[in-house]
A and B are shown apart, each in its own frame.
Chain A
Amino acid sequence: MENDLVLRVIGKLVIPFILLFALYVQFHGDYGPGGGFQAGTILAAGIVFYALIYGLDKARRIIPDRLVEAMLAAGVLLFAGVGVAGLLLGGNFLDYFVLDKDPIHGQHRGIFWVEAGVHITVCGVMLKIFYMFASRGQRKDDEE
Protein backbone atom coordinates (compact mmCIF):
# COMPACT_ATOMS: atom_id res chain seq x y z
CA MET A 1 0.00 0.00 0.00
CA GLU A 2 3.01 2.21 0.10
CA ASN A 3 2.75 3.11 -3.52
CA ASP A 4 -0.79 4.34 -3.41
CA LEU A 5 -0.54 8.10 -3.67
CA VAL A 6 -3.94 8.94 -2.29
CA LEU A 7 -3.40 6.90 0.86
CA ARG A 8 0.02 8.36 1.49
CA VAL A 9 -1.13 11.95 1.15
CA ILE A 10 -4.18 11.43 3.31
CA GLY A 11 -2.04 9.64 5.86
CA LYS A 12 0.40 12.50 6.09
CA LEU A 13 -2.45 14.95 6.57
CA VAL A 14 -4.55 12.99 9.00
CA ILE A 15 -2.17 11.10 11.27
CA PRO A 16 -0.77 14.16 13.10
CA PHE A 17 -4.33 15.27 13.80
CA ILE A 18 -5.21 11.88 15.19
CA LEU A 19 -2.23 11.92 17.54
CA LEU A 20 -2.97 15.47 18.61
CA PHE A 21 -6.61 14.63 19.15
CA ALA A 22 -5.62 11.73 21.36
CA LEU A 23 -3.56 14.07 23.55
CA TYR A 24 -6.41 16.58 23.62
CA VAL A 25 -8.90 13.96 24.74
CA GLN A 26 -6.50 12.80 27.42
CA PHE A 27 -5.84 16.16 28.98
CA HIS A 28 -9.35 17.52 28.66
CA GLY A 29 -10.82 14.48 30.32
CA ASP A 30 -11.61 16.63 33.31
CA TYR A 31 -13.70 19.19 31.49
CA GLY A 32 -15.36 17.30 28.71
CA PRO A 33 -15.90 13.73 27.67
CA GLY A 34 -12.71 11.78 27.48
CA GLY A 35 -10.11 10.42 29.77
CA GLY A 36 -7.48 7.73 29.72
CA PHE A 37 -9.20 4.84 27.94
CA GLN A 38 -10.51 6.79 24.99
CA ALA A 39 -7.24 8.62 24.52
CA GLY A 40 -5.17 5.44 24.66
CA THR A 41 -7.31 3.78 22.04
CA ILE A 42 -7.22 6.79 19.72
CA LEU A 43 -3.43 7.02 19.99
CA ALA A 44 -3.08 3.33 19.22
CA ALA A 45 -5.47 3.71 16.28
CA GLY A 46 -3.34 6.50 14.84
CA ILE A 47 -0.22 4.37 14.97
CA VAL A 48 -2.06 1.35 13.56
CA PHE A 49 -3.20 3.55 10.69
CA TYR A 50 0.42 4.51 10.03
CA ALA A 51 1.46 0.86 10.13
CA LEU A 52 -1.28 -0.13 7.70
CA ILE A 53 -0.24 2.42 5.11
CA TYR A 54 3.53 2.39 5.36
CA GLY A 55 4.12 -1.20 6.37
CA LEU A 56 4.72 -2.90 9.68
CA ASP A 57 8.53 -2.61 9.55
CA LYS A 58 8.55 1.16 9.43
CA ALA A 59 6.15 1.34 12.33
CA ARG A 60 8.31 -1.12 14.22
CA ARG A 61 11.35 1.04 13.67
CA ILE A 62 9.60 4.09 15.08
CA ILE A 63 7.99 2.35 18.03
CA PRO A 64 10.06 -0.74 18.74
CA ASP A 65 8.79 -3.82 20.48
CA ARG A 66 10.73 -3.19 23.67
CA LEU A 67 9.13 0.22 24.06
CA VAL A 68 5.64 -1.18 23.67
CA GLU A 69 6.26 -3.92 26.20
CA ALA A 70 7.69 -1.36 28.59
CA MET A 71 4.62 0.80 28.11
CA LEU A 72 2.39 -2.07 29.11
CA ALA A 73 3.91 -2.39 32.52
CA ALA A 74 4.81 1.26 33.09
CA GLY A 75 1.22 2.41 33.10
CA VAL A 76 0.11 -0.03 35.78
CA LEU A 77 3.19 0.80 37.85
CA LEU A 78 2.41 4.51 37.55
CA PHE A 79 -1.10 3.96 38.78
CA ALA A 80 0.05 1.83 41.70
CA GLY A 81 2.80 4.35 42.39
CA VAL A 82 0.27 7.12 42.87
CA GLY A 83 -1.54 4.90 45.31
CA VAL A 84 1.62 4.14 47.24
CA ALA A 85 2.52 7.83 47.26
CA GLY A 86 -0.75 8.39 49.02
CA LEU A 87 0.32 5.81 51.59
CA LEU A 88 3.76 7.33 52.09
CA LEU A 89 2.38 10.81 52.63
CA GLY A 90 0.19 9.69 55.45
CA GLY A 91 -3.20 8.95 53.98
CA ASN A 92 -4.88 5.79 52.73
CA PHE A 93 -3.95 3.90 49.60
CA LEU A 94 -5.00 5.93 46.54
CA ASP A 95 -5.94 8.87 48.71
CA TYR A 96 -5.55 12.05 46.72
CA PHE A 97 -6.27 14.56 49.44
CA VAL A 98 -2.79 14.33 50.92
CA LEU A 99 -0.88 14.78 47.67
CA ASP A 100 -0.69 18.54 47.94
CA LYS A 101 -1.09 21.24 50.55
CA ASP A 102 -4.45 22.18 49.13
CA PRO A 103 -6.62 19.03 49.10
CA ILE A 104 -8.60 19.99 46.01
CA HIS A 105 -5.38 20.56 44.09
CA GLY A 106 -4.19 17.19 45.30
CA GLN A 107 -7.23 15.67 43.65
CA HIS A 108 -6.32 17.29 40.36
CA ARG A 109 -2.78 15.97 40.53
CA GLY A 110 -3.84 12.49 41.48
CA ILE A 111 -6.41 12.28 38.70
CA PHE A 112 -3.89 13.58 36.17
CA TRP A 113 -1.26 10.96 36.93
CA VAL A 114 -3.77 8.17 37.22
CA GLU A 115 -5.30 8.95 33.82
CA ALA A 116 -1.81 9.15 32.31
CA GLY A 117 -1.02 5.69 33.65
CA VAL A 118 -4.23 4.26 32.22
CA HIS A 119 -3.54 5.92 28.86
CA ILE A 120 -0.06 4.43 28.60
CA THR A 121 -1.19 0.92 29.44
CA VAL A 122 -4.19 0.91 27.12
CA CYS A 123 -2.16 2.29 24.22
CA GLY A 124 0.58 -0.26 24.83
CA VAL A 125 -1.82 -3.19 24.95
CA MET A 126 -3.69 -2.23 21.78
CA LEU A 127 -0.45 -1.69 19.88
CA LYS A 128 1.06 -4.94 21.14
CA ILE A 129 -1.97 -6.92 20.10
CA PHE A 130 -1.85 -5.39 16.65
CA TYR A 131 1.86 -6.12 16.32
CA MET A 132 1.33 -9.72 17.40
CA PHE A 133 -1.48 -10.39 14.94
CA ALA A 134 0.27 -8.67 12.06
CA SER A 135 3.65 -10.27 12.58
CA ARG A 136 2.12 -13.71 12.89
CA GLY A 137 0.70 -13.35 9.43
CA GLN A 138 3.93 -11.97 8.06
CA ARG A 139 6.03 -14.89 9.23
CA LYS A 140 3.56 -17.31 7.70
CA ASP A 141 3.79 -15.59 4.34
CA ASP A 142 7.57 -15.69 4.50
CA GLU A 143 7.69 -19.40 5.09
CA GLU A 144 5.16 -20.53 2.52
Chain B
Amino acid sequence: MSSGGLFEHFTYIVTVFLMVAGLYVVISRGNLIKKLVGLAVFQTSVYLLYIAPGKLIGGTAPILAPQYTVYSNPLPHVLILTAIVVGVATLALGLAITVRIKETYGTIEEDEITAADNAVQATEDAKS
Protein backbone atom coordinates (compact mmCIF):
# COMPACT_ATOMS: atom_id res chain seq x y z
CA MET B 1 0.00 0.00 0.00
CA SER B 2 2.74 2.44 0.80
CA SER B 3 5.74 2.70 -1.39
CA GLY B 4 7.89 5.35 0.21
CA GLY B 5 11.11 4.70 2.01
CA LEU B 6 12.38 6.56 5.00
CA PHE B 7 11.77 10.06 3.72
CA GLU B 8 8.02 9.94 3.27
CA HIS B 9 7.61 8.62 6.77
CA PHE B 10 9.78 11.31 8.30
CA THR B 11 7.04 12.67 10.54
CA TYR B 12 6.42 9.26 12.01
CA ILE B 13 10.09 8.88 12.86
CA VAL B 14 10.13 12.22 14.66
CA THR B 15 6.96 11.30 16.51
CA VAL B 16 8.33 7.94 17.60
CA PHE B 17 11.55 9.58 18.77
CA LEU B 18 9.68 12.08 20.93
CA MET B 19 7.39 9.38 22.25
CA VAL B 20 10.24 7.12 23.26
CA ALA B 21 12.14 10.02 24.82
CA GLY B 22 9.11 10.78 26.98
CA LEU B 23 8.78 7.10 27.86
CA TYR B 24 12.44 6.96 28.84
CA VAL B 25 12.06 9.92 31.17
CA VAL B 26 9.04 8.30 32.81
CA ILE B 27 10.55 4.90 33.45
CA SER B 28 14.13 5.75 34.24
CA ARG B 29 14.02 8.76 36.54
CA GLY B 30 12.83 8.56 40.09
CA ASN B 31 11.89 12.17 40.67
CA LEU B 32 8.12 12.53 40.54
CA ILE B 33 7.99 15.95 38.94
CA LYS B 34 10.38 14.90 36.20
CA LYS B 35 8.21 11.86 35.57
CA LEU B 36 5.20 14.11 35.11
CA VAL B 37 7.10 16.29 32.67
CA GLY B 38 8.12 13.17 30.74
CA LEU B 39 4.49 12.14 30.62
CA ALA B 40 3.54 15.54 29.22
CA VAL B 41 6.22 15.20 26.52
CA PHE B 42 4.81 11.78 25.66
CA GLN B 43 1.33 13.28 25.35
CA THR B 44 2.40 16.04 22.99
CA SER B 45 4.15 13.54 20.75
CA VAL B 46 0.86 11.65 20.48
CA TYR B 47 -0.83 14.87 19.35
CA LEU B 48 1.75 15.13 16.60
CA LEU B 49 1.05 11.53 15.66
CA TYR B 50 -2.57 12.37 14.99
CA ILE B 51 -2.25 15.73 13.33
CA ALA B 52 0.59 15.08 10.90
CA PRO B 53 -1.33 12.65 8.67
CA GLY B 54 -4.18 15.10 8.39
CA LYS B 55 -2.27 17.68 6.45
CA LEU B 56 -2.63 17.95 2.71
CA ILE B 57 0.13 19.70 0.84
CA GLY B 58 -1.41 22.73 -0.86
CA GLY B 59 -4.33 22.67 1.51
CA THR B 60 -5.07 25.25 4.09
CA ALA B 61 -6.46 25.49 7.60
CA PRO B 62 -9.99 24.11 7.86
CA ILE B 63 -11.80 27.43 7.91
CA LEU B 64 -14.17 27.66 5.01
CA ALA B 65 -13.57 30.61 2.71
CA PRO B 66 -14.64 31.11 -0.89
CA GLN B 67 -11.17 31.26 -2.37
CA TYR B 68 -9.87 27.89 -1.14
CA THR B 69 -10.98 24.48 -2.20
CA VAL B 70 -8.56 22.09 -0.54
CA TYR B 71 -8.66 21.88 3.23
CA SER B 72 -6.69 19.88 5.70
CA ASN B 73 -8.67 17.30 7.57
CA PRO B 74 -10.49 18.88 10.54
CA LEU B 75 -11.33 15.67 12.34
CA PRO B 76 -7.98 15.10 14.09
CA HIS B 77 -7.97 18.73 15.20
CA VAL B 78 -11.16 18.23 17.15
CA LEU B 79 -9.98 15.09 18.88
CA ILE B 80 -6.61 16.57 19.79
CA LEU B 81 -8.24 19.73 21.16
CA THR B 82 -10.10 17.58 23.64
CA ALA B 83 -6.96 15.60 24.38
CA ILE B 84 -4.89 18.68 25.19
CA VAL B 85 -7.38 19.94 27.74
CA VAL B 86 -7.75 16.53 29.34
CA GLY B 87 -3.95 16.28 29.43
CA VAL B 88 -3.58 19.47 31.40
CA ALA B 89 -6.29 18.31 33.80
CA THR B 90 -4.32 15.12 34.39
CA LEU B 91 -1.11 17.07 34.90
CA ALA B 92 -2.78 19.32 37.46
CA LEU B 93 -4.12 16.38 39.45
CA GLY B 94 -0.75 14.64 39.32
CA LEU B 95 0.97 17.74 40.63
CA ALA B 96 -1.56 18.07 43.46
CA ILE B 97 -0.84 14.48 44.51
CA THR B 98 2.89 15.20 44.33
CA VAL B 99 2.50 18.19 46.62
CA ARG B 100 0.62 16.05 49.15
CA ILE B 101 3.28 13.33 48.94
CA LYS B 102 5.97 15.90 49.58
CA GLU B 103 4.18 17.12 52.66
CA THR B 104 3.66 13.65 54.03
CA TYR B 105 6.96 11.95 53.22
CA GLY B 106 9.23 14.93 52.95
CA THR B 107 10.69 13.85 49.63
CA ILE B 108 9.66 13.33 46.04
CA GLU B 109 12.19 10.74 44.99
CA GLU B 110 10.57 7.44 44.29
CA ASP B 111 13.31 5.31 45.89
CA GLU B 112 13.11 7.17 49.18
CA ILE B 113 9.33 6.92 49.22
CA THR B 114 9.44 3.16 48.70
CA ALA B 115 12.08 2.83 51.41
CA ALA B 116 9.91 4.81 53.84
CA ASP B 117 6.92 2.63 53.00
CA ASN B 118 8.95 -0.54 53.53
CA ALA B 119 10.22 0.73 56.86
CA VAL B 120 6.68 1.44 58.04
CA GLN B 121 5.54 -1.98 56.83
CA ALA B 122 8.45 -3.68 58.65
CA THR B 123 7.64 -2.01 61.96
CA GLU B 124 3.99 -2.94 61.63
CA ASP B 125 4.92 -6.56 60.91
CA ALA B 126 7.25 -6.59 63.90
CA LYS B 127 4.49 -5.31 66.18
CA SER B 128 1.83 -7.81 65.15
A and B touch in the complex (CB under 8 A): yes
Residues on A facing B (Cβ under 8 Å):
31-33, 37, 122, 125, 129, 132-133, 136
Interface residues of B in 42-83 (CB under 8 A from A): 61, 63, 81
Cα(A132)–Cα(B99), bound, Å: 11
Of all chain B residues, which has the CB nearest A118?
B85
CB atoms of B85 and A122 under 8 A apart: yes
Of the residues A32, A37, A122, A132, contact of B63 by C-beta under 8 Å: A32
Contacts of A31 in B (CB 8 A): 63
B14 at the interface (CB under 8 A from A): no
- The 9 tightest CB contacts between A and B, nearest first, are A129-B92, A37-B85, A37-B81, A32-B63, A136-B99, A122-B85, A33-B63, A33-B61, A132-B96
Residues on B facing A (Cβ under 8 Å):
61, 63, 81, 84-85, 89, 92, 95-96, 99
- Main SS class of interface, A: helix
Of all chain B residues, which has the CB nearest A132?
B96
Of all chain B residues, which has the CB nearest A130?
B92
Instruction: Tell me the smallest distance from the CB of A40 to a CB of chain B, in Å.
Output: 9
Of all chain B residues, which has the CB nearest A38?
B81
Give 14 A-B contacts (CB < 8 Å), ordered by A residue: A31-B63, A32-B63, A33-B61, A33-B63, A37-B81, A37-B84, A37-B85, A122-B85, A125-B89, A129-B92, A132-B96, A133-B95, A133-B99, A136-B99
Q: A37-B84, A122-B85, A133-B95 known; 11 other A-B pairs, CB under 8 Å?
A: A31-B63, A32-B63, A33-B61, A33-B63, A37-B81, A37-B85, A125-B89, A129-B92, A132-B96, A133-B99, A136-B99
Cα(A122)–Cα(B85), bound, Å: 9
Contacts of A132 in B (CB 8 A): 96
Contacts of B81 in A (CB 8 A): 37
Contacts of B61 in A (CB 8 A): 33
Contacts of A37 in B (CB 8 A): 81, 84-85
Cα(A136)–Cα(B89), bound, Å: 19
Of all chain A residues, which has the CB nearest B81?
A37
Contacts of B63 in A (CB 8 A): 31-33
Instruction: Tell me the smallest distance from the CB of A109 to a CB of chain B, in Å.
Output: 20
